[in-house]
Structure 1
């Protein structure tokens, strides 16, 4: 959880006249959460603001993350609460799939592709590999019946950001074997 889940320029931002420092992806992923409930198929963890978090994120917050088993899927749930009602709290939160590609020695990125639940095209932005900043202009990723074959070096220069719930499901595909790999990402 951060004020912005992308990298902020020079790892610094200003709020209410004061400068704060924040690394890419924020601080929550590096902190220890408290387990607040555990059932056979669901578990919840909580993180609250501390004097240390307030050095870089000046808000009194509570973040809860839950995981629920639903058949062959793990559902991830977030609850973010602003505990200072009189103060507007800026934040973003997210998660993303990451693919190790190629999977095996001797293979190439171009042996793989992705399949999505969108048929023709999705719009995306880049996050630059050097500075981690998001480029402002949008690009179109062409899909053929939901499939995009990787070109060699597809992931070398950047991270692809697909926003606004254009896609709810992404799977990695080994097109040589016509096989959808077990990794699956689904948003609800």
Structure 2
């Protein structure tokens, strides 16, 4: 769970109302303890995090963050809700970090899996200094079947970052090109990442946000790909995992 930022901020610092706050990569939600929401449908599980003294010392807004999981047949729907409990506008980013194993993984294989996109992503943004985004982009090279082979070198650039709504569905196929997973989302940015060539998994991450540009030193509300929520309002978004051939 990535909140209230996605990725890295320049010098690990955000500025809100002219004051600087330390903020490490992906924010604090992933290290926080969520409460179970007891009153929910039988086929759903919900968890919540509310602002507290610790979060307010790093992010000066009162909020409620909820995440829900609903399993329907071979589909898992994940929903986020962010409610602004403050009396001022709230600027935030939010994202997911789900990881998926490669079937029959062997580090020595030439190809671990294939990725199929609903649209040609064309280019990826690149992570540069201090984990932030540079100006240049790099082509995403698909094979003759319009797929991206995932090899030991695919993530030499760190993360594939597809911004501005370039894709809305990514399917993962095994080494025989048999699909076993699809991710559907409306998020404007998606990151695709694996920590090393020896890792038996990759992450497909829908983001309503993205890392800073290299050298950015403005207000949080001036960052690219932020969400601004008025007092009392609720932001809601979701993504869907579809498990195939299981």
TM-score by length of structure 2 reads: 0.65
Shift of 1:43: 1.7
CA distance in 2, matches of 1:64, 1:109: 41
Contact in 2 for aligned 1:113/1:174 (Cα 8 Å)? yes
Q: Which moved more, 1:57-66 or 1:89-98?
A: 89-98
> Residues 56 and 98 (structure 1 numbering): CA distance in 2 closer, same or farther, change over 3 Å?
same
* Aligned ranges 1:7-18 → 2 under 5 Å: 7-18=8-19
> Residues 41 and 122 (structure 1 numbering): CA distance in 2 closer, same or farther, change over 3 Å?
farther
Match of 1:137 in 2: 136
CA distance in 2, matches of 1:160, 1:7: 15
**SS at 2:106 equivalent:** coil
Contact in 2 for aligned 1:117/1:146 (Cα 8 Å)? no
Segments of structure 2 that go 5 or more residues without pairing to the other structure are 186-238, 240-246
**SS at 2:139 equivalent:** strand
Shift of 1:14: 1.7
User: Per chain length, whose mean CA-contact separation is higher, i.e. which structure has more relative contact order (CA < 8 Å, sep 6+)?
Assistant: 2
Match of 1:65 in 2: 67
**Which digits, 9 at most, give the CA deviation of each residue in 1:49-89, with x for residues without a partner?**
0000011111111111111112211111111111113x121
> Residues 2 and 112 (structure 1 numbering): CA distance in 2 closer, same or farther, change over 3 Å?
closer
How many residue pairs were aligned?
Answer: 183
CA distance in 2, matches of 1:83, 1:108: 51
TM-score by length of structure 1 reads: 0.82
Match of 2:227 in 1: none
CA distance in 2, matches of 1:166, 1:96: 19
* Aligned ranges 1:161-180 → 2 under 5 Å: 161-175=161-175, 177-180=176-179
> Residues 104 and 27 (structure 1 numbering): CA distance in 2 closer, same or farther, change over 3 Å?
same
Question: What RMSD in Å do the two structures reach over aligned CA positions?
Answer: 2.5
> Residues 53 and 121 (structure 1 numbering): CA distance in 2 closer, same or farther, change over 3 Å?
closer
> Residues 117 and 16 (structure 1 numbering): CA distance in 2 closer, same or farther, change over 3 Å?
same
**SS at 1:35 equivalent:** strand
> Residues 186 and 97 (structure 1 numbering): CA distance in 2 closer, same or farther, change over 3 Å?
farther
CA distance in 2, matches of 1:76, 1:84: 25
Shift of 1:93: 0.3
CA distance in 2, matches of 1:111, 1:53: 40
